[in-house]
Structure 1
Amino acid sequence: MNKQTEAFLTKLPDATSAWAEVGLARTHESAVLHVLGEATYTDDIPEVQGTLHAALGLSAKAHAHILSMNLDAVKSSPGVVAVYTAKDIPGSNDCGPIIHDDPILSEGLVEYVGQPLFVVVADSHDNARRAARKADISYQELPAILTPQEAKQAQSFVVPPMRLQRGNAQSAFERSPHRVKGELYVGGQEQFYLEGQISYAIPKEDNGMLVYCSTQHPTEMQHVVAHALNVHSHKIVVECRRMGGGFGGKESQSALWAALAAISASHLKRPVKLRADRDDDMLVTGKRHCFHYEYEVGYDDSGRIIAAKVEMVSRAGYSADLSAPVATRAVCHFDNTYYLADVDIIAMCGKTNTQSNTAFRGFGGPQGAIAIEYIVDEIARNLGQDALDIRKINFYGRNDAEGRNVTQYGQKVVDNVIHELVAELEASSEYRARRAAVIAFNASSAVLKKGLALTPLKFGIAFNVTHLNQAGALVHVYTDGSVLVNHGGTEMGQGINIKVCQVVAHELGIPLKMVRATATDTSKVANTSATAASTGADLNGKAAQAAAHTIRQRLAEFAVTTYGGELTAVRFEHGLIHVNAQAIPFEEIVGKAYLARIQLWSDGFYATPGLHWDPKTMSGNPFSYFAYGASVSEVIVDSLTGEWKLLRADALYDAGKSLNPAIDIGQVEGAFIQGMGWLTTEELCWNQSGKLMTHAPSTYKIPAISDCPEDFRVALFKNSNVQDSIHRSKAVGEPPLLLPFSVFFAIRDAVASVGAYKFNPPLNSPATSEAILTAITAVSKMANAA
């Protein structure tokens, strides 16, 4: 923790004047277990006697018909117990989350290198993996589409293109004094969770199945396994105590692993564990969607946007997966913090012969917002203005009177704090003085060039699909006063459990240490939504609060019946229940309530109000509220090699009334570095045959400690959610991933200085050293030509 962050946390209220368990900086509920190595992940669960291990046989072709598949050598390999193909699946051969176009195992057509063809079950993990490589397969190759540009040209899409229009963009272009037109490519990103995909299936009596699965969506895993085994959902229990990271990669794509482990276990009547090797994991699973954009924007002399048109096409991969909602969110976030009166946005999900891309932190929001930021950056350079000033002039209005507070999809922005937040960060980061210093440095430095950028963010919170915005929870109070809470959210390191425990402790007026969260379990809370879309704490916190409140009311009524007084005067705090001028320990009243046969457990449910969305018109009120933020980054670039370093980063994030500032600041820091990796170092490369070449840490570069800035200043903006979210807090999962936009544009600023800031560098993402050097070369040529 840096000194700035430590100082910020020390200023937070310690609740000495008014008792509280929310709003306090508490450590992660598994922090000690993490440090001691005692936190149990799926692969750490003690194996049941007779456990077998599975591995996948994968396609070597990007697009082909299978002519023959001889598995004799696989079956005769040491330790092999069984080999299963698509014909051995008892029920549905499908794991698609929305559209049923995603086979668990190929049935004769392969559509990407790495597509699972069969599963091998053996007595050990290594024996299964060795055997899987011995298959003799003949293919009839077919033409393959590998890039989003190729998909657009071929009109190859996994779902029909979507279009959002507001106003009359063409007419607005005609009255625009200036136009900027161009293309941009933004690459994808591997989730690179520390714990890979894994499922452990244990057969139970009466055709039941217990599946331990590292997943963000236990209910979806329950459904997929039930359909694959051709049984009802009540036969399947899916449990997940924690994940070693998810980032969206374990929302839908854990289904393949859960299904194959369960199918194998069902056939053999023995436990089967399917743990993906890192290379197999990266070859098989989808990533963040890369996007290609063609844009045109009209603007006036001040830099205010008058008209905007963009066509964006993503690399969806071979199946639909979650590409449609990802594209929808990209469309809804194209505006970022800017009011766009006349727009025409087209989004296409390109069907390519690559891994089926999926959810990733931000879920299309970052891909939508970076396009408009790139455009604003170009407008500023064309006008010879500071990009921050162009950003400010295009911000959403503060109120109805300004008439600039309705999004392109029709939702009114009623909680806008971007003006105040950016002003605070501009001052605290000393942006103007540093801008002058950067310009002066570059004027006297021939090789090393500095860059500086301030970028804002606005991010909508809720699932695009309205019915997913619901959650349930169970709260049990035991006779010793301890409390157990179970909810539908999953813990992937983000701290959802500690936040839910704080909410329950606060509601019951007891110390946090008296509350414990248990593993997410489909047999406890049913029909849950994925822990995604930054809604985990919002939804499950509200559900747990509702359950705890019911118990609190029962105890309050019992206390008044027993001790007298007024119900409205009963207080729960510091582990005591204050009633009729008496302070009785919580556990004492709980014990007496049990003897009086008062129910000491309750369920709770929450559904986010006020949401609606029409996918046909692409309009509605899809978000409960917006989270805001901004960051400033300063970089230095070697213009001879393209090497660069982040010198300092300042980030200010709107978490509303934070449930746990320590957890939230950690989330902001982590998101910043992860997003910086996406935009600068994490490059996905496929060869001409369609094989992913960056399928291991040796070829895929995530940020390391050395890439973090020595001067990293993160703070939470003082605010309160205007919506009735859990204790007026705001989500902190996905939105901060947009903060490192400032790193990318600081690099672009440094590159532009090579041409005296007169030319727009053609810099795509990720801005690797090679890409930076290419952009520098282009700017130098433009400068020489001028």
Structure 2
Amino acid sequence: MNKQMDNVAADAGIRGGVHLSQRHDSAHKHVTGLAEYTDDIPEPAGTLHAYLGLSDRAHAEIVSIDFDAVRAAPGVVGVLTAADVPGSNDISPVGKHDDPLFAEGKVEFHGQQMFAVIAETRDQARRAAKLAKVEYRDLPFVTDVAEAVSADYPYVTDPLKLERGEVEPAMAAAPRRLKGAMRVGGQDHFYLEGHIAFAFPGEDDEVTVYSSTQHPSEVQHMVAHVLGVPSNAVTIIVRRMGGGFGGKETQPNIFASITALAAKKYHRAVKLRPDRDDDMVATGKRHDFLNEYEVGFDEDGRVLAVDGVFAARCGFSADLSGAVTDRALFHADNSYYYPAVRLVSRPMKTNTVSNTAFRGFGGPQGLIIAERIMEEIAYALGKDPLEVRRVNFYGDGERNVTPYHQTVTDCIIERVVDELVESADYQARRQAVLDWNAKGGVIRKGIAISTVKFGISFTATWYNQAGALVHVYSDGSVHLNHGGTEMGQGLFTKVAQVVADVFQIDLDRVKITATTTAKVPNTSATAASSGSDLNGMAAENAAQQIKDRLIDFAAEKYSVDREQVVFQPNAVLIGNRRVSFDDFIKEAYIARVHLSAAGFYKTPDIHWDRAAGKGRPFYYFAYGAACSEVSVDTLTGEYVVDRADVLHDVGRSLNPAVDKGQVEGAFVQGMGWLTTEELWWDDKGRLRTHAPSTYKIPLAGDRPAIFNVKLAEWSVNKEPTIRRSKAVGEPPFMLPISVLEALSMAVASVADYRECPRLDAPATPERVLKAIDRLGGREA
């Protein structure tokens, strides 16, 4: 396979460049174990290890903590508490000062960090952390979002309202109306590599931290904030992560800050790596939502009005909940036009770990309601849900304005769906499913198509910027550094392809280096599916600056017009003279041409007025559709996904192999969110699904038996993104909503499709069985 890809690239002139299927730069290291992560960094003599002391109450005053047994334990060097923080005991990423590094006076969720033990070995620190004697005074607590709403718990951040049109009159005039509610579960990130940080003290106020993070600049600022030093004293380095999915955007602040604090206090290197259980208990997850909706529609299934309230379990502090719940509203329309619409968020405080970013960043929890509305209408009218979807798609004229007043100018969802319907043979297969179910029997089948329209950009406009640094050395080799982080998604490979393409050199001549705040400052998180868009453009800008200098040099030296200097595969054509790239660079170096450049990019034409609920928060939209077929055992509720067909829009792909892999992975991860991954807190506020034994992610055997994934190769981004590509990280995550709807159809068959089963997510076998029993009249 790799040989075939190399041949394709070679045929294009260089063994690199864009729009070609290049293998991930670290793929061979991943599978052979040669890829180095933070925990693989050799430990210098005298390295200390930290471990977290976590609360075992959901909400309580801390009356006292006795550390005598902790300090007396073997190998213990010291204990860190809030009193040891020289700067600010706060790691809130949004400046609300509601997220203490160490709890002071009160704990607000079970598993909150109260102190850290520093010892000679990790095992010693871990064992000693259990020896603290804590006296609590218990307080009332709430862990469930519905309970938080009923108890009138506060919001952790300001809610948002999006509104367009006159909802009440439109709803009242609608020929048909329905109301519904849906619980949408959360999800643990369950990375292969958990959270970890490794800090090295430097001279004066300096400290260097190796952190498994998607947002080095934020970790830098938080560490500086905790230590009470300027950001220039803190360097954050990350070569790669073993998965991120959003969970390593703000949560690494905990681990990096504690290790840096300990390293400066004890003047020794310090590492902190929690066990999987403690990692899952102490760090945030995808927000689970309780969504309520009312919809007015006509006999054709066309939506006339939508009124929705989106309540989220946010946890004890704000973290990123404001932006997450905002994005849920931004995607509550999905691919469908609502003539009159009102959407309101409720970011509820709960006594649980503060939830955070997760692939899709709230978009999936909003988008799923749009798909549920289409499904509900179809059952109410006795139609194929695909018919209802088609009449509601965004279109031309007046049917192209979103609830946040952005005009949709690039909608290709109809073509995507039309092609998928044909390639997946949807109509014939749907009839076959109906015929199968008509026979009765234990096994029932379902089939469904769902769509995705996903906005690309950070809704916080200032995050839509990136920097890059490119050096061309005198031997013709190239050094690339940028603000994006590599978590397995292939970002480094894609950006390197862009640089190789600018210079028309082989990809292996571009050295990809670790992300560090010492090279590119003030970077945004590698999130919001913007990694390639932002960093690719910044790197191209840097490379183009150097290329322009080289063209000027050649034109002057050889007395030719600039247009006569042409970069060819691993060479430069200057008039009639062809020079190898290496020799040309050597000539330029001797002539004192500056061969280094800092590049920069900011996304144009985006703006957002949150108070007014209006603007253009997204630069463009990515589209996709999936058709899924399932078989359900009506005696047990167990099911299998027999087949999934996906057609996804990535614009003009920078690397089709990497992008296809992202779509496949997102689909399976989305299946897990919707079917098996369930978070559960007990009556003491304890997370009980905190390990692989109690939390089920999809395994290889859970993937669709037949899995056909295609990219919409004809798509070209209308906006001038990096080589007209589109983002791919988050949009395909929502495609397996088709699996949930297929399960719904199979369940509905036991009652002749008279009623929408209204499955909550995750649709575990237990929930599926209960729905079957209810619709089939088997409830006790």
Normalising by the smaller structure, the TM-score range is over 0.9
Equivalent-residue separation in structure 1 for 2:131 and 2:10 (angstroms): 64
Kindly indicate whether the alpha-carbon contact (under 8 Å) linking 1:510 and 1:572 is maintained by their aligned counterparts in 2: no
Kindly indicate whether the alpha-carbon contact (under 8 Å) linking 2:504 and 2:567 is maintained by their aligned counterparts in 1: yes
1:537 correspondence with 2:532: yes
- 1:14 Cα shift? 5.2
Q: Which residue of 1 aligns with 2:103?
A: 106
1:469 correspondence with 2:464: yes
Q: Which residue of 2 aligns with 1:585?
A: 580
- 1:710 Cα shift? 2.1
The more displaced of 132-141 and 559-568 is 559-568
Equivalent-residue separation in structure 2 for 1:153 and 1:541 (angstroms): 47
Pick one of 101, 123, 135 that aligns with 1:126.
123
1:551 correspondence with 2:546: yes
Task: Give the residue type in structure 2 aligned to 1:781.
Answer: G
Q: What do the CA deviations read for 1:641-684 (whole angstroms, capped 9, x no partner)? A: 00000000000110000000000000000000000000000000
- 1:161 Cα shift? 2.4
Pick one of 193, 202, 205 that aligns with 1:207.
205
Pick one of 43, 64, 68 that aligns with 2:64.
68
Pick one of 226, 229, 233 that aligns with 1:228.
226
Q: Which residue of 1 aligns with 2:759?
A: 763
- 1:443 Cα shift? 1.1
Q: Which residue of 2 aligns with 1:257?
A: 255
Task: Give the residue type in structure 1 aligned to 2:529.
Answer: S
Equivalent-residue separation in structure 2 for 1:443 and 1:616 (angstroms): 53
Q: Which residue of 2 aligns with 1:427?
A: 422
- 1:154 Cα shift? 2.5
- 1:280 Cα shift? 0.6
- 1:12 Cα shift? 12
- 1:52 Cα shift? 0.3
Task: Give the residue type in structure 1 aligned to 2:230.
Answer: H
Task: Give the residue type in structure 2 aligned to 1:158.
Answer: V
Matches within 5 A, 1:301-700: 301-397=299-395, 399=396, 402-700=397-695
- 1:18 Cα shift? 7.0
- 1:479 Cα shift? 1.1
Kindly indicate whether the alpha-carbon contact (under 8 Å) linking 2:504 and 2:569 is maintained by their aligned counterparts in 1: yes
Equivalent-residue separation in structure 1 for 2:196 and 2:724 (angstroms): 36
Q: Classify the secondary structure of the residue corresponding to 2:399.
A: coil
How much is the aligned-residue C-alpha RMSD, in angstroms? 1.5
Equivalent-residue separation in structure 1 for 2:146 and 2:568 (angstroms): 60
Equivalent-residue separation in structure 2 for 1:471 and 1:259 (angstroms): 24
Kindly indicate whether the alpha-carbon contact (under 8 Å) linking 1:475 and 1:544 is maintained by their aligned counterparts in 2: yes
Identity %: 53
Q: What do the CA deviations read for 1:721-748 (whole angstroms, capped 9, x no partner)? A: 0000000000000001011110111101
Equivalent-residue separation in structure 2 for 1:543 and 1:10 (angstroms): 27
Kindly indicate whether the alpha-carbon contact (under 8 Å) linking 2:59 and 2:107 is maintained by their aligned counterparts in 1: yes
Kindly indicate whether the alpha-carbon contact (under 8 Å) linking 2:337 and 2:392 is maintained by their aligned counterparts in 1: yes
The more displaced of 473-482 and 15-24 is 15-24
Aligned residues: 775
Equivalent-residue separation in structure 1 for 2:309 and 2:12 (angstroms): 55
Q: Classify the secondary structure of the residue corresponding to 1:666.
A: helix
Which portions of structure 1, spanning 4 or more consecutive aligned residues, are displaced by more than 3 angstroms?
Answer: 9-20
Kindly indicate whether the alpha-carbon contact (under 8 Å) linking 1:564 and 1:579 is maintained by their aligned counterparts in 2: no
Q: Classify the secondary structure of the residue corresponding to 1:781.
A: coil
- 1:361 Cα shift? 0.2
TM-score (normalised: structure 1): 0.97
Equivalent-residue separation in structure 2 for 1:231 and 1:373 (angstroms): 49
Equivalent-residue separation in structure 2 for 1:765 and 1:428 (angstroms): 28
Kindly indicate whether the alpha-carbon contact (under 8 Å) linking 1:12 and 1:24 is maintained by their aligned counterparts in 2: no
Q: Classify the secondary structure of the residue corresponding to 1:244.
A: coil
Equivalent-residue separation in structure 2 for 1:206 and 1:11 (angstroms): 49
Q: Classify the secondary structure of the residue corresponding to 2:670.
A: helix
Kindly indicate whether the alpha-carbon contact (under 8 Å) linking 1:762 and 1:778 is maintained by their aligned counterparts in 2: no
Q: Which residue of 1 aligns with 2:31?
A: 35
Kindly indicate whether the alpha-carbon contact (under 8 Å) linking 2:222 and 2:257 is maintained by their aligned counterparts in 1: yes
Equivalent-residue separation in structure 2 for 1:538 and 1:205 (angstroms): 37
Task: Give the residue type in structure 1 aligned to 2:49.
Answer: H
- 1:564 Cα shift? 3.2
Q: Classify the secondary structure of the residue corresponding to 1:649.
A: strand
- 1:562 Cα shift? 2.5
Equivalent-residue separation in structure 1 for 2:558 and 2:92 (angstroms): 58
- 1:569 Cα shift? 2.8
Q: Which residue of 1 aligns with 2:151?
A: 154
- 1:563 Cα shift? 2.7
Kindly indicate whether the alpha-carbon contact (under 8 Å) linking 2:13 and 2:569 is maintained by their aligned counterparts in 1: no
Equivalent-residue separation in structure 1 for 2:121 and 2:719 (angstroms): 53
- 1:16 Cα shift? 3.5
Q: Which residue of 1 aligns with 2:773?
A: 777
Equivalent-residue separation in structure 2 for 1:221 and 1:738 (angstroms): 29
In structure 2, relative to structure 1, the CA distance for the partners of 1:12 and 1:295 (3 Å cut) is farther
In structure 2, relative to structure 1, the CA distance for the partners of 1:132 and 1:242 (3 Å cut) is same
Equivalent-residue separation in structure 2 for 1:94 and 1:67 (angstroms): 21
Kindly indicate whether the alpha-carbon contact (under 8 Å) linking 1:564 and 1:580 is maintained by their aligned counterparts in 2: no
- 1:33 Cα shift? 1.4
Kindly indicate whether the alpha-carbon contact (under 8 Å) linking 2:566 and 2:573 is maintained by their aligned counterparts in 1: yes
- 1:619 Cα shift? 1.2
Kindly indicate whether the alpha-carbon contact (under 8 Å) linking 2:455 and 2:621 is maintained by their aligned counterparts in 1: yes
Equivalent-residue separation in structure 2 for 1:506 and 1:687 (angstroms): 55
Equivalent-residue separation in structure 1 for 2:597 and 2:188 (angstroms): 40
- 1:570 Cα shift? 1.9
Kindly indicate whether the alpha-carbon contact (under 8 Å) linking 2:102 and 2:114 is maintained by their aligned counterparts in 1: yes
- 1:240 Cα shift? 0.4
Task: Give the residue type in structure 2 aligned to 1:451.
Answer: G
Kindly indicate whether the alpha-carbon contact (under 8 Å) linking 2:159 and 2:322 is maintained by their aligned counterparts in 1: no
Equivalent-residue separation in structure 2 for 1:95 and 1:512 (angstroms): 40
Q: Which residue of 2 aligns with 1:294?
A: 292
Q: Classify the secondary structure of the residue corresponding to 1:375.
A: helix
Task: Give the residue type in structure 1 aligned to 2:724.
Answer: R
Kindly indicate whether the alpha-carbon contact (under 8 Å) linking 1:682 and 1:702 is maintained by their aligned counterparts in 2: yes
Q: Which residue of 1 aligns with 2:55?
A: 59
Equivalent-residue separation in structure 1 for 2:8 and 2:420 (angstroms): 22
1:137 correspondence with 2:134: yes
Pick one of 727, 730, 735 that aligns with 1:731.
727
Kindly indicate whether the alpha-carbon contact (under 8 Å) linking 2:5 and 2:21 is maintained by their aligned counterparts in 1: no
Equivalent-residue separation in structure 2 for 1:84 and 1:328 (angstroms): 37
- 1:11 Cα shift? 14
Equivalent-residue separation in structure 1 for 2:763 and 2:479 (angstroms): 47
- 1:215 Cα shift? 0.2
Task: Give the residue type in structure 2 aligned to 1:733.
Answer: G
Kindly indicate whether the alpha-carbon contact (under 8 Å) linking 2:342 and 2:403 is maintained by their aligned counterparts in 1: no
Unaligned runs of 5+ in 2: none
Kindly indicate whether the alpha-carbon contact (under 8 Å) linking 1:477 and 1:601 is maintained by their aligned counterparts in 2: yes
The more displaced of 563-572 and 385-394 is 563-572
Equivalent-residue separation in structure 2 for 1:13 and 1:565 (angstroms): 34
Kindly indicate whether the alpha-carbon contact (under 8 Å) linking 1:184 and 1:292 is maintained by their aligned counterparts in 2: yes
Equivalent-residue separation in structure 1 for 2:152 and 2:458 (angstroms): 28
TM-score (normalised: structure 2): 0.98
